[in-house]
Structure 1
Amino acid sequence: MKRFGISVSLAASLAVLATGCGKQAATPAPVGEQPDRPEPVTLSLYMPSVYPIQDYLINAVHKKYPHITLDPILRGPGKFPQDLVAAGTFPDLIYDSTPWYAPLLNMNLLYNMNDLVKSHKFDLSKLDPLAMDAIKMWGANGELYALPIYRNFGVLYYNKDLFDKFGVAYPKDGMTWDDAAELARKLSRTDGGVEYRGMDASGTYEGVSQLSLPFVNASGKANLEAEGFVTAFNNLKTIYTIPGNKRGKKLTDFYKGTVAMQTFWNVLGNFEDMHKKGTPMNWDMVTLPTYKEAPGRSYQVDSQNLSISSLSKHKELAFQVIAYITSKEVQMEINKEGYISSLVDPDVEKTFGANLQTLKGKNVQAIFRQKSAPLYKVTEYDPIAQSFLEKALAEVINNGKDINTALRDANELANLKIAEEMKK
């Protein structure tokens, strides 16, 4: 494993080399004198919100490199990219998820790390290929704008107490969405004046994720009439029109104990917090239900990544930080905390969730039994198309609107809005 920090002995060696070939080495400093130490430097770290492993990463980097301090800056009012650029304070490092780089690229805020990868002889092959492929999609000419530090995953979580209460067999790995809907029918009811819902399948983004559907074509036109969206809407309609299984807020009711099954991304940290507070849930998980069009596929690949700002004055140090965070040493600890390592390393995978008490006895292998679906080609206009898709689903579920009509209308409205944005 390579280290990218400069130890005192290595710094002394580099000083010797800097004097020129063939020249004698400098006389060692007299006993009692301190050798030169790296100047302290603060690297600002831009984050869309607070992340659970934020403090661990900051402390791990500072312990390894005492002269480097990471200072998190959270996106928000007065701290949006355009605000920070205007103030001349845009951060050195950027922490973000793979699908959301379009605004940063449009502002030329992402630095191409290819030269740094070469000069540091950084081994890209050690990183998850699906995560890397998704990142590389953003480089029109082979640019590398980020490196993954851990991967997200999707599963179906279920409340064992509700299945026991109503005498229904637990979910199993390998279910289809039809299988899951059938279970939801058995569990959606009112009992003792309490409404229990069988399943929450999240929203449109998750609903189409396994199918790797682009929301907008490369031409800049909305793609919401593609057959895959019809498939996803039919599935979501089936689930959310089960009597008593109205759509709710993601996870809120599941944590309250009134939803039997919930499909979503990694929320192991929330279960661990409940466990530590003495209010644990009796839960477990299985693989995500699948579409016949995408067998064995979980949600699309979604890695959490670090990028270097094109405006940073400390690009070498920023890369040093990223390289250390992707080292086996740090990745092992991230993995133990319940975040899938970005490394392709069986030794690391074996330690997954080792620090989480709530994972003991759980079906942890459900996380690894499916492959992530490939990431679709993301565009800067995706949020527009997604917003109209979400409205279309509400019309289908709440008002009984025909699916094909709803998607056609959403597609037309999205194209009108995209055209407006293109003119700006």
Structure 2
Amino acid sequence: MILRRGLPGMLIAVLLTVSACTGSPEKTEQEASLKDVPDTPKTPVEIAFYSSSKEPLFVEAVRKKFPDYTIKYIQKGAGYSFPEMIASNQTFDIYVESARTYARDLLGAKLELDLTDLSKKHQIDLNRFDKNGLEQMKSAGGLYGLPIYGSGMVLYYNKEIFDRFGVPYPKDGMTWEETYELAKKLTRVDNQPYYGYWLKTKSYLRKNQYSLPFVDMKTETAVINNEKWKRTIETVFQKFSAIEGMEGKFGTQWPGSDVFYKNKDVAMYVTDSDMHQGVKEMRDMKWDMVSLPSFSDAPGIGPQIMYTYLGIPSFSKHQDEAMKIIQYLTSEEFQMQLSKQGFLTSLNNQEILKAIGQDTPDKDKNLKAIYYNTFAPSGPTTKYDEYVIEDGIDNVALRELVNQKLDLNTMIRKAEELGNQSIQKNKN
């Protein structure tokens, strides 16, 4: 269930304190193994995390749990891009990223490390994990990381806009067609323009409900010129953007999530299921969430979960120490705290799943919407996916479609062509 940004501010108090056990009277094998492994290394050890996000607060929890380790955090950026890190021989021990970023970076540089043997050595029971979380990474070729948490998708809605126009609130289990009818009623002008719907584009592409692949690894080419991708793009993007009154909303930049909680001119916004966490503007607005709308030919199927993984590069000199940290962060003890703060646990544990959001100001919201539909199985992951998503579909072609500069068939062909160009460029 993943997230590509750091944990919200509300987690500070929780994550700076090592929690007690989750309330179960018996210790699990995982918890027992945590207790049996001493926290103090034989010699001083520095462990460096590396990620594109700002330092997540679970890093501070690691500092608290392992006081005799020196914990360093490196954020990607100027001078610290992945190619720059590798070219300058700067090392790190734990990589915090999505499966597709792992595939693009570590596999692309042939610096991956399969964690199967280390998991056995440190008594990490892989059967505890949600199977989609493991398969999403394994589809890239191996178990190069273990999931710490995930992110689904939901439909957020602004109650004030619905109330203004006397439109009934959305419900769990809606189809895309029903959502479209609501969006038409809510796209209108009343002293200012209001827009019925939009979504976080790249997140939806990555979490698409048909589990569609982006690349055929046998041919190393994009595979988006097919009927399922056309149906997805037409239903989720093109149809809504053609609603009368939506013109001009899609310029050179996509509307970000701030149109929902800052501009407050979008009635329904489809985005990552953890969008509300730590957003202070949402404390002062009337909002709620329902399940992601489903396709009529795939009722009850929700998004794929995108997980954030903790992996160890092959060049790490502290693989056992890094694995002990990963063991702690994927333990029932720590996962229960993440769930209570609203994050999708990476474990297949119903008690932890049911605890979602219990310790947040949003505990009275419809958080069960996150789990209302069945999560779509994880589609295949390749090291070229992000090139097709970023440079093929999203960057030019999709924007031209919603701005009515291209028809659907031309857009799909252009997206595939641009995706293939990006694959070849980055291969070379």
TM-score (ref. length: structure 2): 0.84
Alpha carbons of structure 1 residues 272 and 201: separation in structure 2 relative to 1, 3 Å: closer
Could you tell me which of 248, 256, 259 is aligned with 1:250? 256
Equivalence for 2:90: 89
Alpha carbons of structure 1 residues 160 and 312: separation in structure 2 relative to 1, 3 Å: same
Percent of aligned positions with the same letter in both sequences?
35
Does structure 2 conserve the Cα–Cα contact (< 8 Å) formed by 1:3 and 1:324?
no
Measure, in 2, the Cα distance between the counterparts of 1:325 and 1:384. 31
Query: How far did residue 399 of structure 1 move?
Result: 3.1
Could you tell me which of 197, 200, 203 is aligned with 1:202? 200
Equivalence for 2:172: 173
Show structure 1 runs of 5+ residues with no match.
Answer: 12-35
Per-residue CA deviation, residues 144-193 of structure 1 (Å, 9 max, x unaligned), is 2100111111100000111011100000011111111100000001111x
Equivalence for 1:21: none
Query: How far did residue 271 of structure 1 move?
Result: 5.7
> Which deviates further from its counterpart, 394-403 or 169-178?
394-403
Equivalence for 2:360: 356
Query: Does 1:264 find its partner at 2:271?
Result: yes
Alpha carbons of structure 1 residues 89 and 416: separation in structure 2 relative to 1, 3 Å: closer
Measure, in 2, the Cα distance between the counterparts of 1:60 and 1:417. 39
Equivalence for 1:415: 420
Return the letter of the residue paired with 2:368.
Answer: Q
Measure, in 1, the Cα distance between the counterparts of 2:298 and 2:102. 26
> Which deviates further from its counterpart, 280-289 or 68-77?
68-77
Query: How far did residue 332 of structure 1 move?
Result: 1.0
Q: Tell me which structure has the larger Cα radius of gyration.
A: 1
Query: How far did residue 394 of structure 1 move?
Result: 2.2
* SS state at 2:399 partner: helix
Query: Does 1:379 find its partner at 2:382?
Result: yes
Does structure 1 conserve the Cα–Cα contact (< 8 Å) formed by 2:290 and 2:369?
yes
* SS state at 2:149 partner: strand
Aligned positions of 1:122-271 closer than 5 A: 122-139=124-141, 143-192=142-191, 194-203=192-201, 206-207=204-205, 209-218=208-217, 219-235=219-235, 236-245=237-246, 246-247=249-250, 248-255=254-261, 256-270=263-277
Equivalence for 1:48: 52
Does structure 2 conserve the Cα–Cα contact (< 8 Å) formed by 1:42 and 1:68?
yes
Query: Does 1:405 find its partner at 2:410?
Result: yes
Does structure 1 conserve the Cα–Cα contact (< 8 Å) formed by 2:107 and 2:383?
no
The total of aligned residue pairs comes to 386
Query: How far did residue 205 of structure 1 move?
Result: 5.1
Does structure 2 conserve the Cα–Cα contact (< 8 Å) formed by 1:99 and 1:302?
no
Measure, in 2, the Cα distance between the counterparts of 1:394 and 1:369. 31
Query: How far did residue 225 of structure 1 move?
Result: 0.8
Aligned positions of 1:289-304 closer than 5 A: 289-304=293-308
Per-residue CA deviation, residues 28-77 of structure 1 (Å, 9 max, x unaligned), is xxxxxxxx9743322000011115xx22x223223322212321100111
Does structure 2 conserve the Cα–Cα contact (< 8 Å) formed by 1:271 and 1:280?
no
Per-residue CA deviation, residues 339-368 of structure 1 (Å, 9 max, x unaligned), is 1111111221222112211x1321111111
Alpha carbons of structure 1 residues 121 and 371: separation in structure 2 relative to 1, 3 Å: same
* SS state at 1:330 partner: helix
Does structure 1 conserve the Cα–Cα contact (< 8 Å) formed by 2:112 and 2:144?
yes
* SS state at 1:101 partner: helix
Measure, in 2, the Cα distance between the counterparts of 1:3 and 1:221. 45
Query: How far did residue 78 of structure 1 move?
Result: 0.7
Measure, in 2, the Cα distance between the counterparts of 1:406 and 1:80. 31
Query: How far did residue 89 of structure 1 move?
Result: 2.0
Does structure 1 conserve the Cα–Cα contact (< 8 Å) formed by 2:274 and 2:342?
no
Aligned positions of 1:74-113 closer than 5 A: 74-102=75-103, 103-113=105-115
Does structure 2 conserve the Cα–Cα contact (< 8 Å) formed by 1:224 and 1:385?
no
* SS state at 1:267 partner: coil
Measure, in 1, the Cα distance between the counterparts of 2:322 and 2:311. 9
Could you tell me which of 346, 349, 364 is aligned with 1:345? 349
Answer 1 or 2: higher relative contact order, Cα 8 Å, separation at least 6. Answer: 2
Query: How far did residue 197 of structure 1 move?
Result: 0.4
Alpha carbons of structure 1 residues 417 and 38: separation in structure 2 relative to 1, 3 Å: closer
Query: How far did residue 321 of structure 1 move?
Result: 0.2
Does structure 1 conserve the Cα–Cα contact (< 8 Å) formed by 2:111 and 2:315?
yes
Alpha carbons of structure 1 residues 206 and 314: separation in structure 2 relative to 1, 3 Å: same
* SS state at 2:127 partner: helix
Equivalence for 1:2: 32
TM-score (ref. length: structure 1): 0.85
> Which deviates further from its counterpart, 237-246 or 80-89?
80-89
Query: How far did residue 84 of structure 1 move?
Result: 1.8
Query: How far did residue 203 of structure 1 move?
Result: 1.9
Measure, in 1, the Cα distance between the counterparts of 2:74 and 2:274. 23
